[in-house]
């Protein structure tokens, strides 16, 4: 049997950090738009900078992903599922970048300050245009719901690999090479 | 692969593992649905307010869901420096910041008739050169009729016109008031307020409480008002024409700039900040924080106040929310109103361009 190939440590850290951040953001987003209580502005104040953080990390991650060797999917996986896996990863990257950009763009088009923390706001990336604001505001919702859907499918697929197929896919992201293998690599 | 899956399912605990595989995403989806309120449709949201305004005022696509009839104005704000010991917001320094404002009548009816006793409002967007924008929407009443968002929604619903009589149903309002003595007291204060002849000589109040924070980090509870330089005069009867308040304002601006002083009231110990139905006692310390000058009227049609929302939580550093629950609700609801109206077909304001420069369309 071939030894498990793992994602490099930096890629794994980015993956799990961003997984936590994105899930947090999806919940923060959906809770804030359905409350009119004091939590509303506290959550929005958290949502903007956290979303911009995700954008920055997603760009780093995209570059990193293009540079590293990605562990191959097991040969046993049918071609249709391989394609599905590839496509879903492309969609995940695209949304991690597009969703915060749409957030930033919609606030720009709505002439809202894109406040990060007290005393600091990002510059607008789009001209003031209320109709565009409305369009992007709705797009932000739909892209967020699609992202959540793809995250759910991604989670189910990871668990299928980990719990049912018990192949190398889940360990390639959850763990690094065992200590003795690492020594061998270093040698 | 299917045969491998079948094999795995046949193993001891195979089905359990399959259940676990489905349970994790399933539970996450359920948690999301709960968080989104999809399973609790009665939750009070900005959407509830959209339905309420529609029910009370009728559908008016393209218009603000409240304070729908209005006029854009522009000018500037000049800080006096007197408020800098209380707030580090840059606009309180002795600098001039451009202003885009909007005068309006409360209510979601964009073509309602002007009348002396209707609630008038002033909304301001103050834009200092180096950032630290401040937006506010302030009204010419002494207190707000309700304490929180839920009560405001119930109050609006209780005031909705009966389809037969076109007037609010006294029984419905009576039932609301019976449970809300604070609203009875607030409405008495509203009724007793001195009316002025127009927008230009009216005083507009923050009603909500906010917090000023100075460079040392000291927080101070405040409310504020825009107090006119223009001398008060009593309303001269009903006024001429359906839009006389706006036409008078346009005429006054054509004569020359209009001025207000931003008078900040400092809350004393025990003054209610979380309850905008309760006035602060007279005699509190007041600071003249600067002067607002408005020198130009513009119709909403193509005007600079149409495509923005006066979200009261767009605050500069040095001004923060207090424990007053209303501003957060306003921020959420204004965002919804702004999104909906900005996506709807363009409208023509009751106060069109021809009202300002005759001959223009
Ligand atoms: C990965 C990043 C992001 C995720 C997952 C995300 C998710 C969400 C979700 C789920 C909603 C609720 C949508 C609805 O049901 O209407 C939302 C709303 C919103 N998001 Fe984001 N968002 C992200 C980035 C951003 C960024 C970068 C900004 C701005 C800088 C932003 C600003 C907003 C605003 C202003 C709202 C609506 C608030 C309102 O209308 O009351 N988002 N977001
Ligand atoms: C929970 C309470 C409140 C709700 C739900 C509410 C709702 C609304 C809505 C939906 C708009 C239209 C926003 C837009 O489309 O841009 C609006 C405008 C306005 N509101 Fe409120 N409001 C509340 C409380 C208040 C209070 C306490 C004040 C005054 C201190 C106030 C003053 C104004 C003003 C001045 C405007 C007009 C802004 C403009 O001219 O564009 N509102 N309100």
Q: Report the CATH fold assignment for B68-324.
A: Catalase HpII,  Chain A, domain 1 (2.40.180)
Cβ atoms of B155 and B147 within 8 Å: the answer is no
DSSP 8-state assignment for residue B64: -
Q: What's the confidence (pLDDT) of residue B241?
A: 85
- Does B303 have pLDDT greater than 70? yes
| CA dihedral of residues B22, B23, B26, B28 (deg, nearest 10) | -130
Confidence of residue B132 (pLDDT cuts 50, 70, 90): very high
Contacts with B22 from chain A: Cβ below 8 Å? 156
Residue A130: inside a domain: yes
Residue A45: inside a domain: yes
Q: What's the sign of the alpha-carbon dihedral B197, B74, B112, B184?
A: negative
Residue A4: inside a domain: no
Confidence of residue A181 (pLDDT cuts 50, 70, 90): low
Percentage of chain B beyond pLDDT 90 is 86
Separation of CA A106 and ligand 1 centre (Å): 10
Residue A2: inside a domain: no
Strand partners of residue B135: B125
Chain A: residue nearest B88 by CA? A119
d(CA B194, CA B336): 34
d(CA B89, CA B71): 28
Domain that includes residue A103, residue range: 9-186
- Does A187 have pLDDT greater than 50? no
Tell me which of B62, B67, B143, B144 to substitute to probe ligand 2's pocket, judged by most ligand atoms within 8 Å of the beta carbon: B67
Q: What's the confidence (pLDDT) of residue A183?
A: 52
Question: Which residues 128-147 of B are in CB contact (within 8 Å) with A?
Answer: 131-133
Q: What's the confidence (pLDDT) of residue B105?
A: 98
Q: What's the confidence (pLDDT) of residue B318?
A: 97
Report the complex ipTM. Answer: 0.94
Note whether B5 contacts A: Cβ–Cβ < 8 A: yes
Strand partners of residue B213: B219
Q: A121 vs B131: CB contact, 8 Å cut-off?
A: yes
Give the pLDDT mean for B56-77: 97
**In angstroms, what separates the C-alpha of B287 from chain A's closest C-alpha?**
24
**In angstroms, what separates the C-alpha of A62 from chain B's closest C-alpha?**
25
**In angstroms, what separates the C-alpha of B164 from chain A's closest C-alpha?**
33
Please spell the DSSP secondary structure of B187-200, one letter per residue.
HHHHHTSPP-SSST
- In this structure, the residues whose C-beta lies within 6 A of any atom of ligand 1 are A 22, 25-26, 29-30, 33, 44, 47-48, 51-52, 54, 99-100, 103-104, 107, 114, 140-141, 144, 147; B 332, 335
d(CA B215, CA B318): 8
Q: What's the confidence (pLDDT) of residue A70?
A: 87
pLDDT digits (tens, 9 = 90+) for B136-167: 999 999 999 999 999 999 999 999 988 888 88
Residue A35: inside a domain: yes
The pTM (predicted TM-score) of the whole model is 0.95
Cβ atoms of B120 and B137 within 8 Å: the answer is no
d(CA A94, CA B245): 53
d(CA B274, CA B255): 41
Residue B138 has phi, psi (to 5 degrees) of -130, 150
Residue A172: inside a domain: yes
Confidence of residue B37 (pLDDT cuts 50, 70, 90): very high
Q: How many structural domains does chain A have?
A: 1
* Token pair belonging to B219: 């927080």
Question: Which residues 26-85 of B are in CB contact (within 8 Å) with A?
Answer: 28-29, 31-32, 35-37, 43-46, 49
pLDDT digits (tens, 9 = 90+) for B258-302: 999 999 999 999 999 999 999 999 999 999 999 999 999 999 999
Give the pLDDT mean for B72-76: 98
B166: annotated active-site residue: no
- Choose among B35, B131, B329: nearest Cβ to A30: B35
Cβ atoms of B152 and B284 within 8 Å: the answer is no
Domain spans in chain B, listed from the N-terminal domain onward: 68-324
Q: How many CA atoms lie within 13 Å of B256's alpha carbon, on the beta-carbon side? A: 3
- Choose among B24, B35, B333: nearest Cβ to A27: B35
Residue B33 has phi, psi (to 5 degrees) of -65, -40
Residue A1: inside a domain: no
Radius of gyration of chain A (CA): 19
Q: A118 vs B317: CB contact, 8 Å cut-off?
A: yes
pLDDT digits (tens, 9 = 90+) for A130-147: 999 999 999 999 999 999
Residue A143: inside a domain: yes
A167's CB contacts (< 8 A; 6+ apart) are A74, A76, A161
Confidence of residue A1 (pLDDT cuts 50, 70, 90): low
Q: In a 3-state reduction of DSSP, which class is residue A26?
A: helix
Give the pLDDT mean for A57-76: 92
Give the pLDDT mean for B206-223: 98
């Amino acid at each position: 049997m071939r030894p498990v190939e793992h994602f490099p440590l930096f890629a794994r850290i980015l993956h799990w950090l961003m997984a936590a951040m994105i899930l947090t953001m999806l919940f923060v987003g959906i809770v804030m738009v359905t409350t009119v209580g004091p939590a509303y502005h506290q959550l929005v104040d958290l949502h903007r900078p956290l979303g911009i953080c995700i954008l920055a990390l997603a760009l780093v991650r995209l570059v990193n992903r293009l540079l590293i060797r990605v562990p191959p999917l097991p040969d046993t996986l049918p071609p249709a599922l391989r394609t599905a896996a590839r496509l879903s990863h492309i969609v995940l990257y695209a949304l991690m970048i597009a969703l915060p950009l749409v957030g930033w763009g919609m606030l720009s088009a709505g002439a809202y300050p894109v406040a990060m923390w007290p005393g600091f706001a990002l510059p607008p990336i789009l001209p003031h245009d209320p109709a565009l604001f409305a369009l992007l505001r709705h797009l932000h919702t739909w892209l967020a719901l699609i992202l959540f859907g793809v995250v759910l499918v991604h989670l189910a697929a990871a668990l299928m690999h980990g719990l049912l197929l018990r192949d190398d896919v889940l360990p390639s992201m959850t763990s690094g090479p065992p200590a003795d293998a690492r020594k061998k690599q270093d040698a | 692969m299917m045969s491998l899956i079948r094999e795995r399912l046949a193993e001891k605990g195979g089905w359990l593992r399959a259940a676990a595989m489905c349970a994790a995403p399933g539970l996450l989806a359920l948690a999301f649905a709960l968080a989104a309120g999809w399973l609790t449709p009665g939750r009070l949201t900005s959407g509830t307010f959209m339905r309420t305004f529609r029910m009370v005022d009728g559908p008016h696509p393209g218009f603000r869901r409240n304070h729908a009839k209005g006029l854009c104005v522009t000018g500037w704000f000049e800080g006096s420096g007197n408020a800098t010991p209380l707030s580090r917001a840059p606009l309180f320094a002795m600098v001039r910041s451009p202003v885009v404002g909007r005068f309006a009548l409360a209510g979601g009816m964009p073509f309602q008739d002007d009348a002396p006793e209707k609630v008038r409002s002033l909304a301001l967007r103050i834009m200092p050169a180096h950032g630290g924008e401040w937006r506010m929407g302030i009204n010419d009443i002494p207190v707000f009729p309700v304490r929180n968002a839920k009560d405001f929604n119930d109050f609006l619903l209780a005031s909705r016109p009966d389809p037969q009589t076109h007037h609010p149903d006294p029984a419905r309002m009576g039932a609301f008031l019976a449970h809300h003595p604070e609203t009875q007291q607030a409405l008495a204060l509203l009724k007793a307020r001195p009316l002025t002849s127009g927008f230009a000589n009216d005083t507009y109040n923050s009603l909500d409480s906010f917090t000023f924070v100075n460079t040392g980090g000291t927080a101070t509870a405040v409310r504020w008002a825009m107090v006119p330089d223009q001398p008060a005069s009593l309303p001269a009867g009903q006024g001429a024409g359906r839009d006389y308040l706006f036409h008078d304002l346009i005429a006054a601006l054509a004569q020359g700039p209009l001025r207000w002083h931003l008078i900040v009231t400092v809350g004393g110990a025990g003054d209610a900040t979380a309850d905008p139905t309760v006035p602060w006692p007279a005699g509190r310390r007041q600071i003249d924080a600067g002067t607002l000058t408005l020198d130009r009227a513009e119709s909403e049609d193509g005007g600079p106040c149409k495509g923005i929302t006066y979200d009261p939580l767009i605050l500069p550093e040095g001004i923060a929310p207090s424990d007053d629950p209303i501003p957060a609700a306003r921020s959420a609801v204004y965002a919804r109103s702004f999104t909906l109206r900005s996506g709807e077909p363009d409208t023509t304001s009751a106060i069109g361009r021809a009202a300002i420069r005759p001959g223009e369309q």
